[in-house]
Amino acid sequence: MNFDLSEEQRLLKDSAWRYGADHGDLTAWRARVERGEGYDAASWRRMADLGWLALTVPEDDGGLGAGPFETMVVAEAFGRYLMLEPFVSACVIAPVLLSAATDEVRARLLSGLVEGGVVVSLADAEPTSRFELNRITTRAEVVDGGYRLSGEKSHALDGGVADWFIVPARTAGADDDEAGVSLFLAPAKTEGLTVVRSRAMDNRHNASLKLDGVVVPAENLIGGLGEGFGLLRKAVDHGLVARLAEAVGAMDAVHEMTLEYLKTRKQFGQTLGSFQALQHRAVDMAIACEEARSMMYLATIALSDDAAGRRKVISAAKARIGQTSLYVGRQAVQLHGGVGFTEELAVAHYLKRLIMIDMAFGNADHHRAALVECLKPGAVAA
């Protein structure tokens, strides 16, 4: 199978890497983190000018209508340069979900996404969901002119900087049914909604939500009533694969840093890279990076499959990249020695990012179990 990028995709990748190299200074990054900034607003506007925020937005809605491979090359740059901007949540997941919104909602929010003026976050998890996307206890009931939402959401990626939330809520069925799930838009500043902001170990500003009778108008329903789970799964799959691309970018970066360190750091009068045992470990890291890249390509291609085929491949990719990414990150820290654990060195921050990516939308163990279920005779993936 040919994995070569097209000329346009190569140009996009080169542009993203140049941008990261020009604006990815670790000292400035640490200064923003210490100031408590969720992301660099000026950088976000520059990304909008470059067209990155419009990549997945349909052309009819003012975007570029690009495909998964364009998303992949940009997301890889985000991982390579530890960018904190909410690209995956606002520009990968949200456009997939908003594709089923009303014309008025799409016109208002998608134009804001493209221009960099609006951040939309999916509240994807609940306190008892344990990575199971269909386990939803938040409830929505019909009221005059709209819906009333009540419940809790334990995680919303980049929710700490979001202007709007997409909230999956149950309008029918048992707590773990896939049928009966509906999707609602709720502004971050609305009566009854408590946003508890938090900073993850990789310095992303996430949030948990408490919905105490939050009333949203009828036009804030995305898609059909009780028919939102398929769209939710599709959007999460797109976001998951983009996060895998971030992991591959981070793995390549930390591997290159480690090779450079082994070539220059001396011990007992010799460079560390001259010791055969450390050479073997560096080679194992390189192999792990290539394995992850191959699985990332496979998962990106699978996004065009039906739900069953897509889930099988994506779970396999998430499980394997979870293993290889943590291996590379931990080896990098170990090979740098004690300095590898310090805040001043980049490798520790890359390991934290890789840990959080492994946890996103289900860790490696969860997806190994999901893959086993997909491979059982007669299994049907949602």
Amino acid symbol at 165 = F
Predicted pLDDT of residue 340: 84
Torsion of CA 363, 298, 246, 327, to 10 degrees: 60
Instruction: Note whether 313 and 305 are within 8 A (CB).
Output: yes
Predicted pLDDT of residue 1: 54
Residue ranges with strand state E in 219-333 = 221-222, 266-267, 270-271
Sequence spans of domains, the chain: 7-118, 121-226, 230-375
Give the CATH architecture of domain 121-226: Beta Barrel (2.40)
Q: 372 exposed, middle or buried (CB, 10 Å; 0-12, 13-18, 19+)?
A: exposed
Q: What are the residues facing 220 on neighbouring strands?
A: none
Q: What is the mean pLDDT of each run of 10 residues along the chain (382 residues)?
A: 82 95 89 91 95 95 94 97 96 97 94 95 95 96 95 97 98 95 97 96 96 97 96 97 98 96 83 84 96 96 91 96 97 90 89 97 94 76 46
Amino acid symbol at 209 = L
Q: Pull the structure tokens for residue 185.
A: 């838009």
**CA–CA separation, 230 vs 215, rounded Å?**
24
The strand pair at 120-125 and 146-156 is best described as: antiparallel
Predicted pLDDT of residue 268: 76
The CATH class of the 7-118 domain is mainly alpha
Predicted pLDDT of residue 24: 84
Residue ranges with strand state E in 30-162 = 120-125, 139-143, 146-156
Place of tokens 């590379």: 328
Predicted pLDDT of residue 7: 93
Closest CA to 156 of 74, 216, 88: 88
Predicted pLDDT of residue 308: 85
Radius of gyration of the chain (CA): 21
Predicted pLDDT of residue 4: 83
Q: Pull the structure tokens for residue 292.
A: 């992850």
Give SS3 for 201.
coil
User: Could you count the other beta carbons within 10 Å of the beta carbon of residue 10?
Assistant: 12
Q: Structure pTM?
A: 0.94
The CA–CA distances, whole Å, from 336 to 151, 267, 326, 344, 345 equal 46, 12, 16, 12, 9
Name the CATH topology of 230-375. Butyryl-CoA Dehydrogenase, subunit A; domain 3 (1.20.140)
Instruction: Note whether 318 and 297 are within 8 A (CB).
Output: no
What sign results for the dihedral spanned by CA atoms 172, 175, 179, 182? positive
**CA–CA separation, 20 vs 254, rounded Å?**
15
